[in-house]
Structure 1
Amino acid sequence: MSASRRSRPSGTLPRPLTFLAAAALTTATATAVSLLPAQAGLHRAAPVPAPSSPRAVPGSPPAASPSQPGPSGPGPSGPGPSGFVTFVDTAADPGFDLPADARRTGVRWYALGHLSPASDGCAQRWAGRLAFGHDPVANRVGRLRALGGDAGLVFGGPAGEAAATCTRPDALTAAYRRAVGAFDAAYVEFELSDPGDRATVLRRARAIGALQRERPLRAGFTLPLRADGLTARDAEMLRLTREAGADIATVNVLARIEPQAAPEGRLRRLALALRAARVQVARAYGLASADEAWPRLALTCVPAGPADLSAADARALLAFAARHRLAWLSLRGAEPDPEAARILRG
């Protein structure tokens, strides 16, 4: 799930174009899409409805479990076709105005990070230090919801995740419960650079499962994507988490975007990595077909520089997401070309 607002361009629809411009766009899109393997594709997130009670969340598979609200991802029912989720690093960007950004960009779903353990190893704090009421970004969630949007909570990140430091299961569950309750969150995500040992994985899974039995709550993981998909430890963590009783609806992969100067086939290599991840997710979830895992995958693009993600790249990624019905798209890292960001926002 890291840079602040750069995680996601908004979802406004492009204004009507002239016939010639539309033809040019169609040609450019077809060319970009041709760079991707025929079997690759990102999912379109569902249209963004105003939150109801209970609120849905972006990015979950079409058939959600009866005990959970709509799609998974930070927000009510989730982005729609080519849906977009904006990640905000609340400690790094305290001036970020959620409702103002939603009005400006059309984005409705936000992921707020990172909630990490305080000095006692259990209590959740923004960046491990700011209490819930002292984070100006998170304090604007109510105004965002009034506009029909929503925000999910991202645990973990650079400062670590509480399951590794809070070794008393009841205390860990209580720490998650306080954070979820403080924001009436419908979606939580766990961003992990290291899944932890077996005991850590099971503590986290059982705490998530306990909360899901108490309230409608969608949950997901943010994990790094490598050339061959997820790491073996991350794939094993997903399996153990499912077997421990937690319903993990979405796996959001952080994918580095190779620079334009990289050898030919940058997007093809990304598509192959996503295809490998979807096989691993299908196995971890016990799905009958690897293709059933596509709607459980979300893609967060991480360009290193502004030129790494062009408008043509964005169109190809958007088409890939729509074809394979990925849960949602997002951005982190360097701010890309404004037109590329606009395209990804849908």
Structure 2
Amino acid sequence: MARHREPGTPPRPLVVLAGLGLAAVTGLAIWFLPAQATPDWSAPGPSHAARVSAAPSPSPAPSAAEPVPSGFVAFVDTARTPRLDLAQALRRTGVRWFSLGRLMAGPGGCEPTWAGGLAPGRTPFAGRVAGLRAAGGQAGLLFGGPDGREAAAACADQAALTSAYREVIGAYGAPFVEFEVRDSADLPAVRRRATAVAALQREGDLLVTYSVPLGPEGLAPADLEMLRQTTAKGARLTTVNLLTAIEPQAAGEGRMRRVASSLKAAHRQVAEVFQVDSAAAWRRMALTSVLAGPDDLSALDARKLTVFAERAGMAWRSARGVPPSAQVARVLWGGGT
């Protein structure tokens, strides 16, 4: 993608990245994802992908040369961990991929800013990202989430919105971005976001993930329509990240089976929306466990989830919400092997 600044030099619209030097490794607000499976969690069998005559033609998979997230992608809450040393986090955990958020609409609407009210100014964080890359890792940016409005919902000026995304992404040299969408029913916002993404992808390589909640029946109708509208605008979605609320252990047996059932329902929907076969649909999906309490996920649960994701061929895993125990975190980081 065309860059207007060197990756280490934040631009003006980066009201955004105030003192965001991500935080001490001990405060690592990295939320981790599913892990390994028991025999009855065998990989989902391929299902016939339904075709929709009105759907767009399949979008191409990213080339092997692109830095495609894989394994575990650590979410870093920059408001909570503003001094995290990313390179040190990589060395300590083995996690190579980081998603830095959250970028929300600023006071003017069209200028993204970090959630948490960080003050404007030059940030040392770009240097930390450079250090991570020098250590063999990679970082992308996360727009949106539960803490306010994402810029596409707040900014009605298409050119200004596209420019704002370009400036922020260019400032960090981010090869991938994630939109945690909370406004899928707001079709004007959906279309503005999609138009901006398509424009940026025409300028150069940019991998884009949309993150949406996973329900018992898969994706909500509004989220499915958003995916259709987005691809119709010419945006290429690399991944649909499924935000999966994990039931507390007190909910009893069948918790992980219910997650598997929901994932299989979403898999059928993703295959239909993107007009791809079963294997390609799984590759378009990522799984993010959302924890309400530190004990919601046991080490065995984590292994089951990770093995399911790995055997199915899902793109990557992550986790958000309350941090799990150290034991569970290690399972999530390490995968199901």
TM-score band, normalised by the shorter chain? 0.7 to 0.9
In 1, are the aligned partners of 2:140 and 2:174 still within 8 Å (CA)?
Answer: yes
Q: Among 135, 139, 160, which residue is 1:151 paired with?
A: 139
Q: Among 89, 114, 120, which residue is 1:126 paired with?
A: 114
Deviates more, 1:309-318 or 1:133-142: 133-142
Q: Give the partner amino acid of 1:250.
A: T
Q: Among 261, 269, 272, which residue is 1:272 paired with?
A: 261
Distance change (3 Å), C-alpha of 1:211 and 1:131: farther
Find the residue that maps to 1:307 and give its secondary structure: coil
| Inter-partner Cα distance in structure 2 for 1:123 and 1:177 | 11
Q: Among 306, 319, 326, which residue is 2:294 paired with?
A: 306
Find the residue that maps to 1:86 and give its secondary structure: strand
Find the residue that maps to 1:261 and give its secondary structure: helix
Q: Give the partner amino acid of 1:316.
A: K
Q: Give the partner amino acid of 2:107.
A: S
Distance change (3 Å), C-alpha of 1:307 and 1:270: same
**Aligned-pair Cα RMSD in Å:** 2.7
| Inter-partner Cα distance in structure 2 for 1:182 and 1:85 | 21
Distance change (3 Å), C-alpha of 1:264 and 1:94: same
Deviates more, 1:200-209 or 1:127-136: 127-136
Find the residue that maps to 1:216 and give its secondary structure: coil
Q: Give the partner amino acid of 1:104.
A: R
| Inter-partner Cα distance in structure 2 for 1:196 and 1:161 | 13
Unaligned runs of 5+ in 2: 1-26, 47-57
In 2, are the aligned partners of 1:5 and 1:96 still within 8 Å (CA)?
Answer: no
| Inter-partner Cα distance in structure 1 for 2:223 and 2:264 | 16
Q: Deviations over 1:74-105 (max 9, x none)?
A: xx3322xxx10100110122122211111111
Q: Give the partner amino acid of 1:64.
A: A
Q: Which residue of 2 aligns with 1:261?
A: 250
Find the residue that maps to 1:174 and give its secondary structure: helix
Q: Among 38, 54, 72, which residue is 1:84 paired with?
A: 72
Q: Give the partner amino acid of 1:300.
A: T
Find the residue that maps to 1:254 and give its secondary structure: strand
In 1, are the aligned partners of 2:271 and 2:278 still within 8 Å (CA)?
Answer: yes
Shift of 1:243: 1.0
Q: Which residue of 1 aligns with 2:230?
A: 241
Q: Among 318, 322, 328, which residue is 2:310 paired with?
A: 322
Distance change (3 Å), C-alpha of 1:85 and 1:139: same
Q: Which residue of 1 aligns with 2:272?
A: 283
| Inter-partner Cα distance in structure 2 for 1:217 and 1:228 | 30
Question: Does structure 1 residue 34 correspond to structure 2 residue 39?
Answer: yes
Find the residue that maps to 2:190 and give its secondary structure: helix
Distance change (3 Å), C-alpha of 1:294 and 1:300: same
Q: Which residue of 2 aligns with 1:188?
A: 177
The TM-score with structure 1 as length reference comes to 0.79
Shift of 1:335: 2.1
Within 5 Å, give how 1:105-254 maps onto structure 2.
Answer: 105-127=93-115, 129-130=117-118, 134-135=122-123, 137=125, 139-157=127-145, 158-254=147-243
Find the residue that maps to 2:216 and give its secondary structure: coil
| Inter-partner Cα distance in structure 2 for 1:206 and 1:196 | 16
| Inter-partner Cα distance in structure 2 for 1:183 and 1:302 | 27
Q: Give the partner amino acid of 1:39.
A: P
Number of positions where the alignment pairs a residue of Structure 1 with one of Structure 2: 296
Distance change (3 Å), C-alpha of 1:128 and 1:210: farther
The percent of aligned pairs where both chains have the same amino acid is 49
| Inter-partner Cα distance in structure 2 for 1:204 and 1:135 | 26
Question: Does structure 1 residue 101 correspond to structure 2 residue 89?
Answer: yes
Shift of 1:263: 3.1
Shift of 1:64: 2.1
Structure 1 runs, 4 residues or longer, greater than 4 Å off: 131-139
Question: Does structure 1 residue 334 correspond to structure 2 residue 322?
Answer: yes
Shift of 1:290: 4.1
Distance change (3 Å), C-alpha of 1:109 and 1:156: same
Distance change (3 Å), C-alpha of 1:152 and 1:122: same
Q: Among 21, 24, 30, which residue is 1:6 paired with?
A: 30
Distance change (3 Å), C-alpha of 1:311 and 1:171: same
The TM-score with structure 2 as length reference comes to 0.81
